[in-house]
Amino acid sequence: MRDFLKRLPKAELHLHIEGSLEPELMFTLAERNGVALPYASVEEARAAYDFTDLQSFLDLYYRGMSVLRTAEDFHDLAMDYFRRAHAEGVVHVELHFDPQAHLIRGVELETVMEGLGLARRQAERELGMSTALIMAFLRDRPAEEAMSVLERAAPYWELLDAVGLDSAERGHPPLKFRDVFQRARLLGIPRVAHAGEEGPPEYIREALDLLEVCRIDHGVRCLEDPDLVARLRDEGVVLTVCPLSNVRLKVVERIEEHPLPRLLDAGLRLTINSDDPAYFGGGVLDNFLACEQAFGWSEEVFIELAGTAIEAAFMSRERRLALH
Ligand code: ADE
Ligand code: ZN
């Protein structure tokens, strides 16, 4: 089964590029840039990745990315991930990035875009991989700041496949970002949002109704609201589910209790993703394998999940046809 899952062409729709920063590269970049880290070694960093909830992870995630300073750093970060993903049979990656987390440290949007752009072109050339770019807004910061980032990104609007919404969910409903997402809609930029990871089903409804998103990131808490599940099924809304992330952030106690089988039985369109692979114990293939072990899914189930990801990806018609 491992060989089959590895060979299966996989598209990843939910990946935070800053969450792909492995401790080894974190230490290399810390030295290169003279940034102090709160860990004495790679092992100590890994041992600290023991989370109680989303916020306890975000604290280390924002701390970790402080080593990213130059365009070269962002290039190295993304290429490091693209190479690992390629080795796992991932053929297409959609990367979220968090410009505000860099701007507030004095790292310009131009620096981030230059580095990520270089890596994306290199991945296409050297690995035959396609990628898409999702500029995410931090929901625990003011909506006005998100709006100003969207305007500041004007030179890059054409390069953005979508805008997204991430960071601490509780207490920060999609409603807060209605105007920002409306502006993105008027600019012709598609929209996605994290909703129903730690937040209630109501946030999923708001993301659909107020932000007019085309996909929901996570969405697992929809099961608490049967009418919402029916709506997601009827409208064919795709959820980008991240099972190992949900275990590590205690959204579920154990992978065996993960709602994926129930979501599948409910007829929802699902994809399997890694979220923050450096922090949660593995990439897309590891997430597929964890599901195989926990749920005993057949090859057909994985073919369906991988097919849904390719259907729901931001990719050209030609690329989709080539991968299907
Ligand atoms: N940023 C990075 N990973 C995240 C997650 N799992 N949820 C919300 N924001 C994030
Ligand atoms: Zn995420």
Ligand nearest to the CA of 56: 1
CA–centroid distance, 321 to ligand 1, in Å, is 31
Domain boundaries, the chain: 2-323
Q: What average pLDDT does the segment 82-97 reach?
A: 98
| 197 among known catalytic residues | yes
Q: How far apart are CA 15 and CA 18, in angstroms?
A: 9
CA–centroid distance, 139 to ligand 1, in Å, is 10
Q: What is the CA radius of gyration of the chain?
A: 18
Our answer on whether the CB atom of 19 is closer than 6 Å to any ligand 1 atom is yes
CA–centroid distance, 165 to ligand 1, in Å, is 9
Report which residue type is found at 271: T
Ligand nearest to the CA of 53: 1
pLDDT of residue 15: 98
**pTM for this structure?**
0.98
pLDDT of residue 167: 98
CA–centroid distance, 166 to ligand 1, in Å, is 6
Residues paired with 252 in a beta bridge: none
Give the residue, by CA position, lying nearest to ligand 1 atom 8: 167
Please provide residue 166's backbone torsions phi and psi, each rounded to the nearest 5 degrees: -140, -165
Q: What average pLDDT does the segment 223-243 reach?
A: 98
Domain 2-323 has CATH 3.20.20.140: yes
What is the overall mean pLDDT for the chain?
A: 98
CA–centroid distance, 257 to ligand 2, in Å, is 20
Residue 2 has pLDDT above 90, yes or no: yes
Please write down the HEC assignment for all residues of the chain.
Answer: CHHHHHHCCEEEEEEEHHHHCCHHHHHHHHHHHCCCCCCCCHHHHHHHCCCCCHHHHHHHHHHHHHHCCCHHHHHHHHHHHHHHHHHCCEEEEEEEECHHHHHCCCCCHHHHHHHHHHHHHHHHHHHCCEEEEEEEEECCCCHHHHHHHHHHCHHHHHHCCEEEEECCCCCCCHHHHHHHHHHHHHCCCCEEEEECCCCCHHHHHHHHHCCCCCEEEECHHHHHCHHHHHHHHHHCCEEEECHHHHHHCCCCCCHHHCCHHHHHHCCCEEEECCECHHHHCCCHHHHHHHHHHHHCCCHHHHHHHHHHHHHHCCCCHHHHHHHC
Residue 163 has pLDDT above 90, yes or no: yes
pLDDT of residue 294: 98
Q: What average pLDDT does the segment 179-190 reach?
A: 98
Q: How far apart are CA 304 and CA 310, in angstroms?
A: 10
| Start-to-end CA span in the chain (Å) | 20
Our answer on whether the CB atom of 308 is closer than 6 Å to any ligand 1 atom is no
Q: How far apart are CA 23 and CA 312, in angstroms?
A: 31
Of 52, 137, 246, 276, the one to substitute when testing ligand 1's pocket (max ligand atoms within 8 A of C-beta) is: 276
pLDDT of residue 225: 98
- Tens digits of per-residue pLDDT, 64-84? 999 999 999 999 999 999 999
- Tens digits of per-residue pLDDT, 253-272? 999 999 999 999 999 999 99
Instruction: Give me the percent of the chain exceeding a pLDDT of 70.
Output: 100
Q: What average pLDDT does the segment 288-313 reach?
A: 98
Binding residues: 14, 16, 194, 275-276
Residue 324 has pLDDT above 90, yes or no: no
Q: Which token pair is 252?
A: 């579920």
Residue 145 has pLDDT above 90, yes or no: yes
Q: How far apart are CA 139 and CA 34, in angstroms?
A: 30
Q: How far apart are CA 129 and CA 10, in angstroms?
A: 11
pLDDT of residue 39: 96
Our answer on whether the CB atom of 245 is closer than 6 Å to any ligand 1 atom is yes
Our answer on whether the CB atom of 276 is closer than 6 Å to any ligand 1 atom is yes
One of 197, 198, 206, 292 is an active-site residue; which one?
197
Our answer on whether the CB atom of 194 is closer than 6 Å to any ligand 1 atom is yes
Our answer on whether the CB atom of 14 is closer than 6 Å to any ligand 1 atom is no
Contacts of 254 (CB under 8 A, 6+ apart): 247
